Structure 1
């Protein structure tokens, strides 16, 4: 598949409504949100503020540096039924590519006004929304960087837990990123947020596997 065809396929797949993309439960099994590794920087520093607005920290007057973005979506099961009450555990690097984690020893600055970590729940019709900053790329070594991404854990009793990463469309580092490139074209599309007509606003749906009774 050519680069142009690959890009066209991903855009079309990501832009389609997941609820209508597959008609049967058997087919829906194919489109479960792909899994990914947790990474080394899951938050370990206790913090009280873990709400849906990562651009501000409770008790501080400043706002996070970088481009502020909003991501909204829904959680479904494999039958495309919306799932309420799913716990979504989110963490990411700040706009400079720095994690708020003691093991991140890069020279990038810590942004004290960036919340860095959120734990929210899907609400009515499985909907969720959070505000954050566009994550910076962070260095793996002297020659390579990880493409911008957001880590996400989704859990609810009666469903298989999901650990994944969200990527951004058409970012130049995507096709240089080892984890992103290991996924199939379809998997890449399902892990990539969708740009809306509104600037800096994205959509992203999650598909969890409901455990049979």
Structure 2
């Protein structure tokens, strides 16, 4: 009898886990604040390679990475033609923004801002560098992250941030710590392929 109860409990636990995972997968990607440094300086080059700036011969400093992913709706159908507006700090933790007054250097070979579209099966890809942490004040830093604005007619606009797995500053970051463990997992990229490739899927909600 005890064995039957144990087996029954194990089966029910497994089913519950599958159901819970399915429900979580259909939830929209958690929202996050825009932050103070959304780009306001016009720039012509907004393509998917942030490591180079059109008209310049140099390459951005820092660890070059590739981020790829897919955009889905809450029924897990791929969504094509989504505008993905993304921006971030350079490798030194400096935003290319007039209101960023930190002493960190500006990297003139770093594009800093891109506007791309999701293509076939909702797929997107861009090349960039790992952003540096930027200072918040006395002995505080924001953990490295990339900002996203996601939009398409017929869908709820999404403003979020992508975090990096196992970064030591994640545990100290005020915004990251406010999220539940499940939300943190859905906002954190996964390592794909070699150490310089990341997978980051996004779920948006229909209006």
Name the structure 1 match of 2:78: 82
CA distance in structure 1 between the aligned counterparts of 2:18 and 2:96, rounded to whole angstroms: 39
Unmatched 5+ stretches in structure 2? 1-16
Q: CA deviation at 1:22?
A: 7.0
Residue number among 140, 160, 185 corresponding to 1:189 in the alignment: 185
Matches within 5 A, 1:31-110: 31-110=27-106
CA distance in structure 1 between the aligned counterparts of 2:167 and 2:23, rounded to whole angstroms: 29
CA distance in structure 1 between the aligned counterparts of 2:32 and 2:18, rounded to whole angstroms: 23
Name the structure 1 match of 2:150: 154
Name the structure 1 match of 2:11: none
Q: TM-score, normalised by structure 2?
A: 0.89
CA distance in structure 2 between the aligned counterparts of 1:137 and 1:41, rounded to whole angstroms: 14
Q: CA deviation at 1:28?
A: 5.5
Q: CA deviation at 1:199?
A: 2.4
The structure with the larger Rg is 2
Residues 59 and 201 of structure 1, relative CA distance in 2, 3 Å threshold: same
Name the structure 1 match of 2:175: 179
Name the structure 2 match of 1:16: none
Cα RMSD for the two superposed structures: 1.6
Unmatched 5+ stretches in structure 1? 1-20
Q: CA deviation at 1:30?
A: 5.6
CA distance in structure 1 between the aligned counterparts of 2:123 and 2:94, rounded to whole angstroms: 29
Contact conserved, 1:98 with 1:138, CA < 8 A, in 2? yes
Contact conserved, 2:53 with 2:109, CA < 8 A, in 1? yes
Contact conserved, 1:28 with 1:78, CA < 8 A, in 2? no
1:133 correspondence with 2:129 = yes
Q: TM-score, normalised by structure 1?
A: 0.86
Q: CA deviation at 1:74?
A: 0.1
| Corresponding residue pairs, total | 190
